[in-house]
Homo-oligomer: A and B are copies of this chain.
Amino acid sequence: MLKVGIVGATGYTGAELLRILSNHNGVQVVLITSRAEQGKPVAELYPNLRQHCDLVFEAPTAEKISLLDVVFFATPHGVAQSMMTDIAKHDVVVIDLSADFRIRDQAVWEQWYQQPHGAPALIKEAVYGLPEFNRKDIRTADIIACPGCYPTSVQLGLKPLLEQGAIELDNIIVNAASGVTGAGRSAKVANLFTEVHDSFKAYGSTGHRHLPEIKQGLSDMAGEYVDLTFVPHLLPMARGIHATIYVRLTRQIDVQKVYSEAYADEPFVDVLPAGSHPETRSVKGTNTCRLAVNRAPEGNTLVVMSVIDNLCKGAAGQAIQCMNIRFGLPENEGLEAAALMP
């Protein structure tokens, strides 16, 4: 049994890690941390975890973390960086769900996050935790930087086309929408029920922090620079990301075949039949990405639709998938349940 800890377990991704790990046969969670809620049982914040998790929040220390096999950071950006140099001295695998080690170019990171990077020497040690692209490197990584939620949905949506070299690389539109859990659990007027319910809007159309991560990922897949326009939207629902991606073919290919073959062996990517439209609810609470690709009525435009649960495949589930890969466990351990419908 792996000894597991979670730093920053009061937020939604931390709670989602606990929910999934409570049904995982290869681990024992022994540490959950929160500076603000020290001494409080996690089940007081998350009554769904009553009878599933008896842990009490503790203050995080490098010493406690050093006794673990694996530690998840479910923290705002900056926290993992600030502790990583200390932790790296110990034999603990770090799986970071924050943005701290996703961007390889330190200057780009610092530009978008408006602060100096806290552990620049370790950036190159981190492996980007998208198993469908990086599975081999994840097997031996000591720092795994889990992708953001939007970037996961977009990269899985475009990977087959980029690897085929079949689309224009400077004419990609990503119109994405997320449930409100994507905004986290902090008390802000903008995220009140009364502000979000029964409405819909875009945000961040002049620049969103996931943009450089998406560009980096797509460029890695294409082997050359990829540009795109990315506009996120806020949905009046709790969980789920839907990316609608518009690309132009540069040559004719059998799109359905390309996607089916690209993901034939992937346990968590499900390519729907041609003409389908995936629903976010079909993946709620699961680590699955469902994809469909349709051709617009005229011309060479393809419409790729990619849905994930932002807290699961977009965060905690993917992190656990990476852990399973890293420690040689069955890749779907703990991640097998079907979504609730309805």
**What is A's interface to B at a CB cutoff of 8 Å?**
12, 15, 19, 22-23, 46-52, 171, 173, 175, 177, 180-181, 183, 185-189, 191-203, 205-207, 211, 227, 229-231, 233, 235-240, 242, 244, 246, 270, 272, 275, 277-286, 288, 290, 294-299, 301, 303, 305, 307, 336-342
Contacts and interface: CB of A to CB of B under 8 A. Distances in A.
A296 B171 CA distance: 13
Contacts of A301: 173, 229
Q: What number of copies of this chain does the assembly contain? A: 4
A281 B202 contact: no
B192 A277 contact: no
A211 B301 CA distance: 15
Contact of A341 (B19, B183, B246, B281): B19
The 7 residue pairs across chains A and B that have the minimum distance between CB atoms: A199-B281, A48-B339, A175-B175, A47-B282, A194-B342, A201-B279, A193-B196
B205 A239 contact: no
Contacts of A303: 202, 205, 229, 231
Contact of A46 (B173, B283, B341): B341
Contacts of A196: 193
B244 A231 contact: yes
A284 to B, nearest CB: 7
B197 A192 contact: no
A202 B246 CA distance: 13
A203 B277 contact: yes
Contacts of A284: 48, 198-199, 340
Nearest to A341: B48
